[in-house]
Structure 1
Amino acid sequence: MLYGIRMLLLALHFVGVGLLGLLIGVCRPFNPANSPLFARLYAKPALRILGLDVRASIDTLHALPPGYVIVANHQSNHDLFVLGGIVPERTVSMGKKSLKWVPLFGQLYWLSGNVLVDRSNAFQARKALKATTRTLREQHTSIWVFPEGTRNPAPELLPFKKGAFQMAIDAGVPIVPVCVSHYAKGLNLNRWRSGRVEIQALPPLPTEGLGPEDIPALRQACQAQMQACIEHLDQRAAQG
């Protein structure tokens, strides 16, 4: 019963934000301020609807001026609501090109200035990578990336793809890892309090002076730090 009510309210909320967002997006298309605004519009009411308790320690995200790469683990479609409230100012994300065709959300995602990547087309993917590198370096805008490349609710992180690390090194900007406790499998939307989520932003990883040959070591170090942090967050969330 509670699950059905929540899904109905969430659907109405999703449509409402989509319509409002499209109106704003048409008035100021591709503005980097759009993405954080729309993320919060989606997230804050949705967390109340879902009954999720999100606790975030994200001082690192606000300690740096815009213009860095954020890497985070990706568990489910609910990440839009779980992470939406912590998106820093002037931050856009990278997503697959097929998102563009999701009714309302896809058009809003595009108008927000987010980067759509055709992963099946290597030339277009490289072109998008170069464009985001220029955005980092010249437009004082941060990029949010899910380095696993797909949703993964499992305890172990999937091997990170190199794109985020290549962008950061090419632009000479730091990488800020954001870790989220595993909530997707334990989420129970038939309970009034459906679950608890712990989020922590780690200290930035500098990239100045690094080159392409340093990508494997940087990628592995980042993944190891995030895996350890997520395991710690899982324990904290389980303790209530």
Structure 2
Amino acid sequence: MLSALRLAAMALYFVPASLLNLLIVFLRPFNTDNSRWCGNVYGRPVLRLFGLTVHRELETLEATPHPYVIVANHQSNHDLFLHGTVVPRATVSIGKTSLKWMPLFGQIYWLAGSVLIDRGNASSAKQSMLQTTEVMQQQKTSIWVFAEGTRNHGKGLKPFKKGAFQMAISAGVPIVPVCASTYKRSMCLNRWRAGHIIVRSLPPIPTTGMSLDDMPALMDRCHAQMQQCIAELDARVAELDSAA
């Protein structure tokens, strides 16, 4: 019952939150700080409403100078609320072109400066990647990417797509892994205190001097580090939840 009430309240909140975010992006369209503002408007009230305690361990992310490519794990649509409170300044995300046509959210996502890629059109996708590389180099803007390309639904980190790593190598910028504990398995919205989530950034992985020949090893290194980190975070969350 509590879970249903929380989800209903979230749906109700989403409308005024979207209207506020729409105002923000209309007043300063394509500003590279829009994602951070909009993410917090969406995320912080919903995380409180859900009864979730979020621990943010982001020292390495905060200490890394722009630009860089953030690679994060993607569990569900609720990542909008969780990762929305983690997005740093001067950072935009990459998403599917189809997102642009979602009522309210799609227009906000576009005007927030997000890079929209048509995955069904290889030529168009490649051109978008090249433009993103130029944006990172010339505007000191960082990029947030869910490198799995789709939600993993809490069933473990999926294999990575190449795009994030191609961009990082082409621009000569580091990869900063950002890992969230597996909240899809641990949270319980039917409890007043629904659980703990830990989000941790890992030390940046440099790409200076790398070529595309180095990309498979870079992808494997990033994937292995994130997989190990998520396992550690899940163990800590289990301890926190059992002590509650």
TM-score by length of 2: 0.95
Map 1:215-230 to 2 at 5 A: 215-230=215-230
Q: Which residue in the other structure is 2:103 paired with?
A: 103
Superposition pairs of residues 159-198 of structure 1, within 5 angstroms: 159-198=159-198
**Unpaired runs of at least 5, structure 1:** none
Identical residues among aligned pairs (%): 56
Query: Which secondary structure state, in structure 1, belongs to the residue aligned with residue 184 of structure 2?
Result: coil
Instruction: Compute the displacement of 1:8 (Å).
Output: 2.3
> Any gaps of 5 or more consecutive residues in structure 2?
none
Instruction: Check the 8 A contact 1:66/1:89 in 2, yes or no.
Output: no
Q: How many residues are paired up?
A: 240
The 2-side partners of 1:42 and 1:185 are apart by 22
Give the aligned residue type for 1:86.
V
Q: Deviations along 1:70-114, whole A, 9 cap, x unmatched?
A: 001000011111111111001100011111122111110001001
- Shift in Å at residue 155 of structure 1? 4.2
Letter of the 1:4 partner, please give it.
A
3-state DSSP of counterpart to 2:185: coil
Cα offset, 1:135, TM superposition: 1.0
Q: What is the match of residue 199 of structure 2?
A: 199
Counterpart-to-counterpart distance in 2, 1:229 and 1:177: 10
The AA in structure 1 aligned to 2:196 is R
Question: Matched residue of 1:184: which SS?
Answer: helix
- Matched position secondary structure for 1:124: helix
Q: CA RMSD in A?
A: 1.1
Partners of 1:169 and 1:212 in 2: CA distance: 7
Shift of 1:190: 1.4
In the alignment, the residues of structure 2 paired with residue 170 and residue 60 of structure 1 have an alpha-carbon distance, to the nearest angstrom, of 22
Query: Residues 105-144 of structure 1: matches in 2 within 5 Å?
Result: 105-144=105-144
What's the offset of the Cα at 1:222?
0.5
Structure 1 distance, partners of 2:31, 2:176, is 23
**TM-score for both structures, normalised by structure 1:** 0.97
Which residue matches 1:153? Answer: 153
Deviating above 4 A after TM superposition, structure 1's stretches of 4 or more consecutive aligned residues are: none
Residue in structure 1 matched with residue 67 of structure 2 by the alignment: 67
- 2 CA distance for matches of 1:167 and 1:147? 12
